[in-house]
Amino acid sequence: MISISHLSKHYGTLAVLKDINAEISKGEVISIIGPSGTGKSTLLRCLNLLEQPTGGAISVDGINLLDKHTDVPKIRQRMGMVFQSFNLYAHLTVIENLTIAPVKLRGKSKKEANDKAMDLLKLVGLAEKAHSLPEELSGGQKQRVAIARCMAMEPEILLFDEPTSALDPTMVSEVLAVIRKLSREGMTMMIVTHEMEFAKNISTRVFYMDEGLIYEEGSPEQIFENPKKEKTKAFIHRLRSMNYHVGSPDFDLYALQAEMQVFCEKHMLSKELTSRVILTAEESLLIQRDFHNLDIGLTYSEKEGSLTLVLESSGDPFNPMEISDEEKQIGLLMLRNMTKNIHYSREADRNKLLLEMQL
Ligand code: ADP
Ligand code: MG
């Protein structure tokens, strides 16, 4: 359906896209992941010609998009794009947002456009908001309207550029649910996203972008569980871990706990395990001696079925598990009960305490 070959995009001397090659078939759902600044947005913008590529070719059903004779607006209508910021027309009602383009650009009758718009609003769960103004909607609702508005143009492919990253965390799932529904209906989609669980569950293929290339591509299992190349491995590894630095005994324990909570939620760990690991972190901090340069790391690997907490501190060699202080004995006992394994080592002048959680 879409064929991209040797696509490049330079901004002055900055080569953002160097050599992008991909074939996308009808009904595929492609997630595009990678560090920021690696050209993910630029790729989507080149695909629907919001940016003029520097070189290479893009063809849709055999029609070369970059040919001077190609009817660009017509091709562009076949690719709907959903942005981070919803870009709804503020002075138009929801249903007017959905009908304006089909009537003006595709010559549909008002009735036809209205019927279609109501079907789409039902699809995204917002039929009762048809006559509301965008300002009366929540962020998640606005984004669902933006998706319906795209669909109103009957595109053959939908391009999403981080559709949930401007949303309040409580509204992410309603938007993802709509995208999931579209995928079940066979919609072809390319989605730039940071929602890795979602990407893993919904995609037929994952593109990891780096160095101006589709640096590595594969099935979600291949990319998330078994990346082959260095940078992909490092990126996936970073996703699995959370790091927190402590610089003094007066550090903000609640901020640390909140970060751990978010991390556990992101990986869909149970409430029981979440509170156990948070308590384990708190107890193991209580038995530390030196807080001026302490690093806390939490790493989760679904594949290996492990959740590991690591505390690394500076100062003289000190194994907190060997404390004889009676007051702290109860804390040590709790730690042993909450974990599967605790291991102390001295590495590069740092005290490293590794606590393996029982999943
Ligand atoms: P990503 O979406 O992966 O975070 P982008 O595609 O937004 O990355 O940007 C890739 C690089 O291109 C960045 O270094 C960005 O600063 C640069 N860039 C993007 N748009 C422009 C532009 N219009 N002019 C100049 N540089 C740009
Ligand atoms: Mg971007």
The residues, any chain, with a CB within 8 Å of residue 154's CB and separated by 6 or more, are: none
Ligand 2 centre distance from Cα of residue 39 (Å)? 7
pLDDT, tens only, 218-277: 999 999 989 999 999 999 888 889 999 999 999 999 999 999 999 998 888 999 999 999
Write down the pLDDT at residue 240: 83
Write down the pLDDT at residue 274: 96
- The mean of the pLDDT values for the chain is 93
Write down the pLDDT at residue 304: 78
Report the pLDDT averaged over residues 329-350.
94
- Among all bound ligands, the one having the nearest atom to the CA of 52 is 1
Write down the pLDDT at residue 168: 82
- Among all bound ligands, the one having the nearest atom to the CA of 165 is 2
The pLDDT-based confidence of 302 (bands split at 50, 70, 90) is: confident
Write the burial class of residue 282 (CB in 10 Å: 0-12 exposed, 13-18 middle, 19+ buried). middle
List the structure tokens of 204. Answer: 């037929």
Ligand 2 centre distance from Cα of residue 336 (Å)? 44
Report the pLDDT averaged over residues 187-205.
92
pLDDT, tens only, 122-173: 999 999 999 999 999 999 999 999 999 999 999 999 999 999 988 887 888 8
CA distance 165 to 143: 11
Asked whether 211 lines ligand 1 (CB < 6 A), one says: no
Rg (CA), the chain: 25
- Asked whether residue 5 carries a pLDDT value surpassing 80, the answer given is yes
Write down the pLDDT at residue 312: 96
Lowest mean pLDDT among 30-39, 190-199, 336-345: 190-199
The pLDDT-based confidence of 70 (bands split at 50, 70, 90) is: confident
Write down the pLDDT at residue 256: 96
- Among all bound ligands, the one having the nearest atom to the CA of 161 is 2
Ligand 2 centre distance from Cα of residue 36 (Å)? 7
Write down the pLDDT at residue 307: 95
Write down the pLDDT at residue 110: 95
The answer to whether the CB of 295 falls within 8 A of the CB of 253 is no
Please spell the DSSP secondary structure of 190-256, one letter per residue: EEE-S-HHHHHHH-SEEEEEETTEEEEEE-HHHHHH---SHHHHHHHHHHHEEEEEE-STT--HHHH
The answer to whether the CB of 189 falls within 8 A of the CB of 180 is no
Best substitution site from 20, 38, 42, 81 to test ligand 1's pocket, by max atoms within 8 Å of Cβ?
42
Alpha carbon 12 to its chain centroid, in Å, reads 29
Q: Percentage of residues in the chain with pLDDT exceeding 90?
A: 78
List the structure tokens of 332. Answer: 């040590």
Ligand 2 centre distance from Cα of residue 231 (Å)? 18
Asked whether 36 lines ligand 1 (CB < 6 A), one says: yes
